[in-house]
Copies of this chain bind each other. A is one copy, B any other.
């Protein structure tokens, strides 16, 4: 019941009308990845809402990883449907951890659960692959993970640089499994506790020793996957994650 609200739709929920309309167009296929959103002015006129409501809905879609907007221009000028879920998942989980909607312990438990399943599945796929002799596979889905391990061998890395590559290694394993939902979740889980992980580095007994051990453990995870041993791969990754979190005494800074 604000003064400048259009007759049919209360100003309070006008932005939701925009969001629902775009969701319907996505579901029907009228809008798909690569398409541009109609201009702000046009959307506002078509839906009978104010331009500011269109802008609010566009920001929501941007944070959820549904659209990319061009720099320097107005909100919908050049807004393209992209469907990149990782960014949205990271924003959501990071804010929920910050607001204590998600406990750090639950984030770590969920990571263990997803990651044990990811490496077991990768090992199973590898075992299946080697059973078929002479298959012509052009690219190995584990290559990005291997390259990250090579990069982590550099002794010149700072702690933050090493840990950033380490996070990427784990997300690369999730990507290799080919399940985009699990990959986005893994990326979100890791990003959501990034600040806690960095803050906990001084709790570690000796960074050089820890880094050396992490390198060995990462190699062990990859070797178990390559050997096609599901149980061993899951056991390696579980021990690796548990040990690091226990040793760094990871937790929210203001936890009881």
| Interface secondary structure of A, over-half rule | helix
CA gap between A92 and B184 in the complex, in Å: 11
B85:A92 contact, CB within 8 angstroms: yes
Q: 8 Å CB contacts to B: which residues of A40-63?
A: 52, 55-57, 59-61, 63
B92:A23 contact, CB within 8 angstroms: no
A65:B96 contact, CB within 8 angstroms: yes
Across the interface, A182 reaches (CB within 8 A) one of B31, B106, B179, namely B106
| A239 contacts partner chain B, Cβ-Cβ < 8 Å | no
| A114 contacts partner chain B, Cβ-Cβ < 8 Å | yes
Stretch of A66-74, A133-141, A146-154, A223-231 that contacts chain B: A66-74
B contact residues around A1 at 8 Å (CB): 72
Min CB distance A176 to B, Å, is: 14
Q: How many residues of A contact B (CB 8 A)?
A: 63
B contact residues around A103 at 8 Å (CB): 180-181
B85:A102 contact, CB within 8 angstroms: yes
A83:B59 contact, CB within 8 angstroms: no
| A202 contacts partner chain B, Cβ-Cβ < 8 Å | no
Across the interface, A181 reaches (CB within 8 A) one of B12, B32, B33, B102, namely B102
What are some 27 contacts across the A-B interface (CB < 8 A)? A12-B73, A23-B95, A26-B98, A27-B195, A29-B254, A32-B99, A52-B55, A57-B59, A64-B92, A65-B92, A65-B101, A66-B95, A81-B99, A82-B101, A88-B92, A101-B180, A102-B181, A103-B180, A103-B181, A106-B179, A106-B181, A106-B182, A107-B181, A113-B114, A113-B182, A117-B117, A181-B189
- Seed contacts A83-B100, A103-B180; 8 additional CB < 8 Å A-B pairs: A12-B73, A52-B52, A55-B56, A60-B60, A63-B63, A83-B101, A110-B182, A110-B185
A-B pairs, 7 with minimum CB distance:
A83-B101, A26-B98, A83-B99, A56-B59, A110-B181, A106-B181, A85-B96
